[in-house]
Structure formats: C-alpha cells, structure tokens
Amino acid sequence: MKLTAEEVKKIARLARLKLTDKEIEQYQSQLSEVLTYIKQLDEVKGTAGATRMTAATNVMSDDEVTNQPRTKELLAGAPLTEGDSIKVKAVFDE
C-alpha cells in the first residue's frame, strides 16, 4: 500500500503540521513503508484482550486544597501575556 499525497496532507492537517511538498513526498514513501511493515500483525489470530501495564490500586486522599497559586511562575514561560492571562490570536471574526 502507498499513501497518496492527499492522504498525507489530510493527516498533516489533523496533526497540526505544515508540510512542504518535499516532506509530503518523503512521508508518502516512508510512512507507507512502515505501515506495510506493521501490517504483519494481521498474521496473529486470537488474542488476550487489552493490556494493563500495572496492577493499579485506588489512591484516596482528603478533599483539601493543597496547591498554592503559581500564576507568575507559570506565566513566565508563556510567549505572550496580558495581566494574568495568556494572550492568543482571535478565534472569532469581529
């Protein structure tokens, strides 16, 4: 199987990636190669259900507020801020 350029563009849109024409061409063949390789899993019939990594147990704690406000600290990493808010481009048209 080989992915079409349109398929690669569609995945890129979903993944919020902007690709150059060269990248699209490159991913067409590289992703197709990997997808072909992983298709070998179809050989395995009959399986044991989903995986759970660890025997997790419930962790209980009292319903108390323990976190301190860290607004300044966290905003320090944001590229654009205004007051105590992070500034982003407008989502709606005026």
Partner 1 sequence: MSSQSSDVSRQTSDSTGAYLNRYDVKASMDALANGSLKDVPVAIKDIIVVANDYPSTAASKILEPFKSPYDATVIKKLSEAGAVITGKTNLDEFAMGSSTENSALGKTVNPWDESRVPGGSSGGSAAAVASGDAPLALGTDTGGSVRQPAAFCGVVGFKPTYGRVSRYGLVAMASSLDQAGMFGRKVEDVATLLQAVAGPDQEHDATSVDQPIPDFRKALTGDVKGLKVGLPKEYFIDGIQSEVEKAVRTAADELKAAGAEVTEVSLPHTKYSIAIYYIIMPAESSSNLARYDGIRYGLSVPDATSLLDTYLETREQGFGDEVKRRIMLGTYVLSAGYYDAYYKKAEAVRSVIRQEFDEVFKNVDVLLTPTTPTTAFKIGEKTDDPLRMYLNDIFTVPANLAGLPAISVPAGFDKQGLPIGLQLMGKQWDEETVLRTAHAYESKHDWHAKSPGDSK
Element (H, E) at 81: strand 81-82
Q: Does residue 33 belong to the site contacting partner 1 (CB under 8 A)?
A: yes
Of 21, 68, 82, 89, the one binding partner 1 by CB under 8 A? 89
**CA 25 → CA 1, 3, 13, 33, 62, distances in Å?**
15, 10, 16, 13, 55
Assess 57 for contact with partner 1 (CB under 8 A).
Answer: yes
With binding defined as CB under 8 A, does residue 76 bind partner 1?
yes
Our CA dihedral for 77, 80, 86, 92, rounded to 10 degrees, sits at -140
Does position 80 interact with partner 1 (CB under 8 A)? The reply is yes
State the number of binding residues for partner 1 (CB under 8 A): 47
User: Is 37 an interacting residue with respect to partner 1 (CB under 8 A)?
Assistant: yes
